[in-house]
Chain A
Amino acid sequence: MTNSLSSELIKSLRQIVGERAVSANAEDRLLYSYDGTMLEFRPAAVVFPTSTAQISSIMGLAGQHNVPVVPRGAGTNLSGGSLPVSGGLVVSLTRMNRVLAVNPENLTAIVEPGVVNGDLQKHISRYGLFFPPDPASMNVCTIGGNVASCAGGPRCLKYGVTRDYVLGLEAVLPSGEVIRTGGQAIKNVTGYDLTRLLVGSEGTLGIITQIIIRLLPMPEAKKTMLVIFNSLVSAGQAVSAIIANGIVPATLELMDKLAIQCAEDYVHVGLPREAQAVLIVEVDGFKESLDRQVETIERICREEGAVETRIAESDEEADGLWLARQTILGAVGRIKPSFVIQDVTVPRQSLAEIIESVQETSRKYDVPIVVVAHAGDGNLHPIAMLDKRNPDEVRRAEEAEGEIISHALALGGTLSGEHGIGLAKKDFMPMEYGHTEMRIARGLKKLFDPNNLLNPGKIVGGNA
């Protein structure tokens, strides 16, 4: 546990990044102790580099002084991945935030890790391009964070997740060495896929300092629908039916009644407060294809019991629906101050089943659970709400979590679809990784980080 840095080390850090880019005061130690979870661990200090060279020097110094290092973007991750569990130095990438290049001919861009996803989208929209991963926190989360956690989002149903859009990386290893993986070529099988190893490595193998991303041309048009159901399970069944009918919309998002009400309390866009579930379905593509997609989806949903379908008639209306969906996690603060969120992902055909079992778990442990899902992917986000000051509520929420995870794995699912394992799901890893898989994973970690200094205590690692 490294709770403080020597004045010599602080001085050296100041020489690397400048006086005002290093802080070891009590306030900043508190401010960099948390992320989007309810957990907190104080670092010894925080530093704000703006170049790869600076980060390389920082890692070199950290190695010399045996100080753990934790890279951080906006600090909104939901896995505890940004938490300095062994103290040490937080390296904030927020000020390393330039879009270095956009290449419309190659459909690529090169960005620094601190670029905010939403800002990137705005920037490249001027070229008629977009970057598909659209996590709910896109207006605050950084591309570096997206890459480190292999972030998803609603559009990933049709387009794929972050790893599908990273062509290459530059990263600083715990040794201070800088590596470059992949490149600008769209197809690349030269050597082992180090790029994909780093994507989703949650800052435990290297600090990502440059990302070559793949972009897509924006679809000509889109239509967004709100489909209303009287039962959460039939909404789940409708999702499976849509996919089984050969339609892959851009998004198939599910919200349960409590989610609808929390969101509506904030956004006031006229969401149906008494509905048991809604689906937000967006289709995109050439104008001519949209009506047919919409009609087909509407028909299928009706057959599965939908009571109403509302098609957004303007961009504002569509934006309102998405704002509602994006702000649910923050909005549940209205009910209880803390939450434990799951990210289990099951094979699509089992969606209705896992939803039913979550509802049962909620009743069994008397824990309010909001259900939100990237339903088309089978990626469920049960949000168990609690007051962390109440040990009984904490215990019951944790038990509910354990049960949900067991059920998901029993259905052939996985612990995490897009948030990452971080700290929060680490204890569950043995349920999914066998001994050999753990050995290989730990071996990889050891290869990259022999002294276990980079984001220790996450995924499969031990604490420093």
Chain B
Amino acid sequence: MDAEELYEAILRCNKCGFCQANCPVYKELLEESACARGRLRLFRAVLEGEQGLSDSYVKKLDRCTGCMACTASCPSGVGPLRMILAARAYNVGNKGLPRLKSLALRNVLSHEGVHGLAFAAASYAQRLGLTHLAPGRLVPPGIDLNHFPLSASPFRSQVAEVVSPVEPKGRVGFFVGCMIDHSLPNVGHATVRVLNRLGFEVVIPKGLKCCGIPLIFSGDVETARSLAEHNLRILSELPVDHIVTSCASCGNGIKNEYRELFKDGELAESAERVAAKALDISVFLASRIEPGQLGEVERLTMTYHDPCHLARGQGITAEPRQLMRAVPGVEFREMVEADRCCGAGGTFQVFFPDVAWAITRRKLENIKAADAQTVITACPACLQRLQGGLRQTGMPQSTLHIVELLDRALAVASPRHTVETQHKVAVE
């Protein structure tokens, strides 16, 4: 959107205030700057030259989890979250990223080598118990440094680039993403196993970088674009019918944000093609798993937390529930406000930990009220946040990614079916 289109779009906000209804940040702070209407009005003032990019202004625009509840509630089609992201991009374009964010996002997350080293170092520090030394005041509520999931080695170094069952009937690409790679590799393994069991060869390109969503949400569109371009070149060449993601944010990135980033350029067609092939793992599996293939894992009551970037970002709410209900032994219990943000919001939980923790606490209350033993979700970022929150409050509920549940259920149903040894060659 060019500046004029952006301004016209913002003007469509006629101040009805309905964005206050479901905004998790507004519900905690109860002030106008904490709802989309307020943020948009401030951004409009910036575009009109009346408001400067003060630290307090930048903070108000950053203080949003990106849950898209405002966009869902907004009757005028303004798409308030997109406006907020545009405002952040404007900030970064004019002021640059603050040093810490720049370090974390540009220098670590976006760089393959540094990336791996940093996470490995963090994991090592944790295993050595060094995280226990962190002074209390540096550790934000809701983030338990001692237990934050960190893998000793990235998922993608634990698997080959192509993992194939005995007689593959199809081939899918798997965009892993940073959270699964560095934090929750089990979700990656479960994804590969499930796909193999259903007869799919899985291609996990080593060259892929961070999807770029954390960069987009921080306003660093330039870095996001270069990451996205890099990824698109690989993804568009993959000889696969589908590209699955087990991370709602990566999925939203590939399906929606990439098209937005490149819509007027030479990569537009490529972005469209890749978006058309991209599928969340729950959608991919919902139409391909036969009920008979799933065995009874345990008799458990389970509830589901809708990741924001899946439910509102991609409109996917039915398939994960359908899959849960298909697993024998699972008694499904719907949670109140199942699609309300868990409080992670990517880096939001780091930079606004108090608000994030208040939002997480409400989610934990809803989990408790759901009276279920296990919480299932479909995004590793949510999974990490829920795990952390449950542990910190001493709640007994266990958590699983939907694909981990299916992995177990498939294994129970056909225990003698083993996965073929992994190939070690890249796909031609």
Contact = CB atoms under 8 A, between A and B. Distances in A.
Interface in B8-41: 11-18, 20-21, 30-33, 38, 41
B42 A140 contact: no
Contacts of B50: 30
Nearest to B21: A139
B12 A140 contact: no
A94 B76 contact: no
A339 B51 contact: no
A40 B30 CA distance: 20
Nearest to A122: B336
B139 interface: no
Contact of A333 (B17, B33, B51, B76): B76
Interface stretch (A297-305, A324-332, A449-457): A324-332
Given A25-B56, A27-B57, A31-B42, A333 B21 contact: no
B228 to A, nearest CB: 30
From B16, B18, B74, name the one whose CB has the most chain A CB atoms within 10 angstroms: B16
B129 interface: no
Given A27-B57, A31-B38, A34-B41, A333 B13 contact: yes
Given A97-B30, A266-B77, A137 B18 contact: yes
Interface string A249-268: 00000000000001101100
B45 interface: yes
Chain B, interface size: which category?
Answer: 20 to 34
Interface in A48-70: 48
Nearest to A328: B75
Contacts of A75: 17, 32
B16 A95 contact: no
B12 A333 contact: yes
B21 A35 contact: no
Contact of B75 (A25, A32, A330): A330
Contacts of B42: 27, 30-31
Nearest to B74: A330
Contacts of A28: 31-33
Given A31-B41, A34-B41, A97-B30, A332 B18 contact: no
A337 interface: yes
A140 B77 contact: no
Given A35-B15, A139-B18, A140-B17, A327 B75 contact: yes
A94 B30 CA distance: 6
B32 A329 contact: no
Secondary structure class of chain B's binding surface, majority of residues: loop
A331 B75 contact: yes
A140 B21 contact: yes
Contacts of A184: none
Contacts of B85: none
A339 B16 CA distance: 11
Contacts of B11: 337
Nearest to B77: A334
A38 interface: yes
Given A74-B20, A75-B32, A339-B14, A266 B75 contact: yes
Nearest to B38: A31
A114 B27 CA distance: 12
B327 interface: no
A45 B269 CA distance: 51
A26 interface: yes
Interface in B33-66: 33, 38, 41-42, 45, 50-51, 54, 56-57, 60
Contacts of B32: 28, 31-32, 75
Contact of A327 (B13, B18, B30, B54): B18
Interface string A16-29: 00000000011110
A329 B77 contact: no
B41 A36 contact: no
Given A25-B56, A74-B20, 6 more contacts: A27-B60, A114-B30, A137-B16, A265-B77, A329-B14, A329-B16
17 contacts: A27-B42, A27-B54, A27-B60, A28-B33, A30-B45, A31-B31, A140-B20, A140-B21, A328-B75, A330-B14, A330-B76, A331-B77, A333-B12, A333-B14, A333-B75, A333-B76, A334-B77
